[in-house]
Amino acid sequence: MNCKNCNTSLSKLINYCPLCGAKIVKKRLTFKNLSVDITEQFLNIDNKFLKTFLHLFTKPELVIDGFISGTRKKYINVIQYFAVALTLVGVQVFLMNNFFLDAMELDNEFLKKALENQSNQENNPFSSFSFEDSNNYQSIIYILSVPISTISTWIAYYVIGIRHYNFTEHLVINLYYSAQIIIVSAVLSILFLCFGLDYLLISGVISVLTFGYFFFVFKRVFNSSFWDSVLHFILIMVAYFIIFITILLIVIAIVAVYAILNKDQLVHTV
């Protein structure tokens, strides 16, 4: 008998492959077997997902340092965990666009009125902003935010001489942190909307929790004092702001050049 995952020759007496660690499936697939497997994977108190989720709240350094140092069986792989988080975002977007449109429309009206008070609606580039439209791109926004936060944390710690983690390891830290925040945000958003709370209020509460958890994770992972962690947090926020503004200016410049080129082409065509 060979392992169906790595093709290693196996004894009929063992239940797990000694090379890849995969469980040896000896019974034919039935609904009962499938339900037992699902229960073991996701509903068991000792399953990897629940353990990863809980420990990222209570002792994130064990999950993150464990993965970086080579512990890969105790917790969910960082890429898999981030993928689970993005899946939950997809569920959140579907539910919000199909069951909570009224709440989204109220917030859109509030935002439009606020923008109208600031400047003329026709000249306002944000006049067509819609929570529903931005909600559809949440997964992309989360994915793009990870490299920015990774560069920010790496630069912030590199500047003050703390170089215990390389850039890739900073990426792992930010992926685990982002995945945890995404999962919690998606669940809380749906729960709060079910109770009829305002989406802008929900976003504000989640933002505060996000910054608090960010501070907690980096304090535990780098094992620093409170005030050292505050300094690191400020440096990270400054680096993030500078990188974000730089990227934004580059995008605006590209859009402006594209618009000018298209305008010239239209003039020549006419």
Shared domain check, 179 and 88: yes
Return the percentage of the chain with pLDDT > 70, whole number. 72
Shared domain check, 161 and 61: yes
Shared domain check, 69 and 7: no
DSSP assignment string, 250-270: HHHHHHHHHHHHHHHHHHHH-
Q: Supply the range of the domain harboring residue 6.
A: 1-44
What is the residue whose two structure tokens read 């709060």? 192
Shared domain check, 78 and 22: no
Tally of domains in the chain:
2
Which structure tokens are listed for 15? Answer: 């239940």
Are 179 and 57 contacting, i.e. CB atoms less than 8 angstroms apart? no
Q: What is the pLDDT of residue 125?
A: 46
Res 182 pLDDT > 50: yes
Q: What is the pLDDT of residue 173?
A: 95
Nearest to 135 by CA among 196, 94, 106, 168: 94
Q: What is the pLDDT of residue 208?
A: 84
Among 10-19, 41-50, 187-196, name the one with the lowest average pLDDT: 41-50
Shared domain check, 182 and 65: yes
State which of 9, 27, 44 marks the end of a domain. Answer: 44
Among 99-108, 156-165, 243-252, name the one with the lowest average pLDDT: 99-108
Nearest to 184 by CA among 216, 209, 147, 161: 209
5-45 tens-digit pLDDT: 777 777 776 777 777 766 676 666 666 666 666 666 555 54
Burial class of residue 127 in the structure, from the number of CB atoms within 10 Å of its CB (0-12 exposed, 13-18 middle, 19+ buried): middle
